């Protein structure tokens, strides 16, 4: 992953094998139109930012990749484990914004899937053989629910993707350096059979520092994605105020960056 510029936006670009079958990356907060504390490329509708500014920012993103704003699919993220599947062409995708879901899979070229985050980990998946892409929202609930692995399984069962041929990118979320959690998080992981001690470091009594990126990498490995095909960002959104929004750092009053992926038109 490396910082790139496309149109007006600065983003963390992900190169999936150079097949050129998809474009994807993780946005930063730079070069948008929103005012503090949403400055400036806030892509999250579910904030107190002016909707017209968020619309403007979404338009900056889609235009940077040559599509209309109507091509951007984002869903109502609820820290659940439902997956939205888009497998037929549509005139416009705005109506999906009310669909409660935390992952999206599509085989439709020209549809840009966007997952909004500000601490949670955005995960992108690409099957360039079958032409299927996905994006996942993984906070601690989504991680405990193994949503990344479920999404891989969905790509396999619905579109015949071979997990061994998938490529994955785990984008910037809150790092272990800044993410202190308590007992309910540990309990949720253990209940679902996730080896807590591999990803969490004990701090004070009843407190741990959790590495969500590492836990999600492990989920992808367990789902059959090869280690060599998984890229992981080493940036912490809480540490990098210059580049990213962080819900925890900014006490909830902040914007959202986006993990996005789109199959290119043939």
Q: Are 42 and 54 in contact (CB under 8 A)?
A: yes
Instruction: Characterize the bridge pairing of strands 207-210 and 180-182.
Output: antiparallel
Nearer to Zn ion, 208 or 260 (CB): 208
Would you count residue 239 as binding Zn ion (CB under 5 A)?
yes
The sign of the torsion formed by the CA atoms of 97, 101, 102, 105 equals negative
Site for Zn ion contains 173 (CB under 5 A): no
Q: Which stretch binds Zn ion (CB under 5 A): 36-44, 76-84, 176-184, 245-253?
A: 176-184
Please calculate the CA angle 252-256-260 and round it to the nearest 5 degrees: 150
**Which range of residues in 25-33, 95-103, 165-173, 239-247 is near Zn ion by CB under 5 A?**
239-247
Does 45 contact Zn ion by CB under 5 A? no
Q: What binding mask, one character per residue, do residues 178-207 give for Zn ion by CB under 5 A, x or -?
A: x-----------------------------
Smallest distance from Zn ion to CB 45, Å: 26
For residue 59, the surrounding DSSP H or E stretch is helix 51-64
Query: Which of 17, 266, 10, 26 has the alpha carbon at shortest distance from 124?
Result: 26
Q: Which two tokens stand for residue 159?
A: 């579109």
Q: Stretches 64-72, 109-117, 198-206, 228-236: which one binds Zn ion (CB under 5 A)?
A: 228-236
Specify burial of residue 113 (Cβ count, 10 A radius: 0-12, 13-18, 19+).
buried
Residue 163 is a binding residue for Zn ion (CB under 5 A): no
Of 4-12, 76-84, 238-246, 252-260, the window that binds Zn ion (rule: CB under 5 A) is 238-246
Q: Does 158 bind Zn ion (CB under 5 A)?
A: no
Binding stretches for Zn ion (CB under 5 A) = 175, 177-178, 236, 238-239
């Amino acid at each position: 992953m490396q910082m790139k510029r496309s149109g007006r936006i600065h983003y963390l670009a992900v190169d999936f094998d150079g097949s050129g079958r998809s474009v994807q990356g993780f946005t930063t907060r730079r070069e948008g139109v929103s005012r503090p504390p949403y400055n400036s490329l806030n892509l999250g509708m579910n904030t107190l930012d002016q909707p017209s500014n968020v619309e403007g920012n979404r338009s900056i993103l889609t235009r940077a990749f040559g599509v209309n704003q109507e091509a951007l699919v984002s869903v109502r993220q609820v820290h659940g484990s439902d997956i939205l599947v888009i497998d037929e062409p549509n005139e416009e995708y705005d109506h999906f914004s009310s669909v409660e879901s935390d992952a999206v899979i599509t085989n439709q070229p020209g549809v840009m899937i966007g997952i909004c985050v500000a601490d949670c980990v955005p995960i992108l998946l690409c099957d360039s053989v079958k032409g299927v892409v996905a994006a996942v929202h993984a906070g601690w609930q989504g991680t405990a629910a193994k949503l990344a692995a479920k999404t891989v399984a969905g790509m396999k069962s619905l579109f015949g993707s071979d997990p061994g041929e998938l490529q994955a990118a785990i984008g910037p979320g809150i790092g272990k350096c800044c993410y202190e959690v308590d007992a309910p998080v540990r309990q949720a992981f253990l209940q679902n059979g996730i080896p807590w001690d591999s990803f969490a470091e004990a701090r004070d009594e009843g407190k741990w520092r959790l590495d969500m990126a590492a836990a999600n990498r492990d989920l992808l490995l367990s789902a059959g994605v090869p280690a060599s095909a998984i890229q992981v960002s080493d940036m912490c959104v809480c540490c990098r105020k210059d580049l990213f929004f962080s819900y925890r750092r900014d006490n909830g009053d902040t914007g959202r960056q986006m993990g996005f992926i789109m199959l290119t038109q043939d």
